[in-house]
Structure 1
Amino acid sequence: LFDLVSGPAATTAAAGRWRGLRVVAVDGTLLPVPDCPANLAVFTRQRLGNGTSGYPQLRLAALVACGTRSVIGAVFGPATHGELEYARRLVDSLRAGMLLLGDRNFASAALMNQLAATGADLLVRCKTNRNLPLVARCHDGSILTRIGPLTMRVIDAEIAIRTAQGTRTGHYRLLTTLTDPTAHPAGELVRLYHERWEIETAYAELKSTILGGRVLRARTPEGIEQEVWALLTAYQALRTAMTDATDSASGTDPDRAGFTTALAAARDQLVLAAGVITSTDTDLVGTIGRHVLAHLLPARRVRTKDRIVKRAISKYNARGPAIDRTTYKATINITMLTSSP
């Protein structure tokens, strides 16, 4: 069923495309499963500091369309296998015309060569001190390098974020198969890389909004497999309904569709058993879509927020200075750096 509904969610909006390329992201996450003998035979607890996780963990890896946060492909299994292994199983979901965003964990030479062989282009962050051979210099300060048989462009940039609390800077290095600096400007690629966070938001919607932070329910590995596919199918159905709704309102970015609104509307439909027998009229917006359009989120603005735990596991305050939980408006400045080999 998931195979039937999976995909980038068709939209006429420009969101999710950059210079003709569909922007997608790959990443992994962990889901806790019930602590019982049958599950422990397949799923293991993860090491956490000096101890282990309270529940066995399942690792999920997905390929997500950044414009609509819809799931193009997904694989999962024991957390004993790493993200790179699961990412290799997603290559069949990649196509020419896609631009794949990945974090530093996916900058493996072997994996990037395998992903690029699909015809998709790559934009992957790597360590700033990674030793890369110089093949040629580009007019914008970036360089060309070779990673195995693959020619890639190295883009170094310093990103400064200024808020009312001051300015913070960071050095970022990106690798991309888009080697023409005129057709694919480095500054635009640096800004585009921020779209990788869309997959993090998708995982938050799966784990925090749909599951409410709860542990999966099934007490057998077969039941866990069925439950995860059901979770992904429900998520994808909601994302498709949300995209159909925003697509019906010209100029509406899919980012403005509220996932919580769509989920609540869908749950109400189930509770009321409404629309069980559909009419012969095609209604792409539907009840869920009408709720989404009636409660559109405001357009996104530039702002910054540290990655912090909003609700701590312990009821006691952590030692140290108080955490600033204010969200600040931000101004971002990007300075291209001349790459060195």
Structure 2
Amino acid sequence: MRVARLYDLDDVRIEEQPIPELGPGDALVKMAVCGICTSDTFPWYVRRKAPAVLGHEPAGRIVQLGTDAEGYAVGDRVFIHHHAPCMTCRRCRQQEYSMCKAWRESSIDPGGLAEYVRVPGHNLRNDCFVIPDDLSMEDAALIEPVACAVQALKRKSPVQKGDHVLVVGAGMMGQILMLVARHHGAGNVIAADRVPYRLKKALELGAQKAIDVSTVGLADGVADATNGDMADLIVVCPGSIAAMEDALTATAPGATVCLFTPSAEDEQLPISPHDFWFNHITLTASYSCGPPDTADAMDLIRSGAVTADLIVTDRFPLDRAGEGFATVSAAQDTIKTLVIIDPEEAAS
């Protein structure tokens, strides 16, 4: 089978490797489509992972099942999560699914940028499901990123009705976060970015205000957008210390700031405990998602709140996956990039 193996951001090679062999509880899935996540282009992440077949936003069709696999049939269209928790440990009982040891040790074989993927029985049982007939494969490829937004806005830093919600960084995840925030009742959704295309897209998708931080200070822009009230909830998408520091200047009293992306390992974020204490500021983080979030994400997509038609801007065949990575890495006139592995299946 063909895979897209990333050696560096400017070195993605189409290679041949054997189709994975199944264990008794596993499934073999023929890939239809897989999204490229912005995190797949972080330099520190690439250095850690390469060479590797990446892709953790896949959708496809089951073509073979292990002898003990249950709950699925050959021919099922499926969403598959690359990580799955055990659902029984202390972390899982606390709904901290991405802290579960089994979650962190689980994976699919190889990543989703391949013609076929082996889904271990553990993943198949604990965070995969059949795609409903009313969802396209492209919509299904959005389940994982939408689920990450659901965890952030429903469980880690819940949106309250009427909140002024500021999303710093209006790329793919920023756009999804804004759509999910609106769905959960945000009163005023504000986008901040420095790329005109992304700011324009945010307004088209329903943001009340788009702040170009290359021309106006973030705090000034938020003050103008909220009549001086500032932001009740801020989600920071870039893994940039400067963006995180900037976000802390735009908080209302009692605000929550959610870090949606990590910085590099050796970077530190300076904060003022004095300001946090007197203004009741909460700083939290949201890493990935768990089974309740993927289920909620599917419902959101089925409702039309977030769909491929709204946010997918670029599509590349598998043999041009390198162009897909370059497009995501450039972070300019693009929102969501998909790799179409099987065009016929992707259209289903």
Q: The TM-score by the shorter chain falls in which range? A: under 0.3
> When the two structures are superposed, what TM-score results if normalisation uses the length of structure 2?
0.25
Richer in helix (by share): 2
Q: TM-score, normalised by structure 1?
A: 0.25
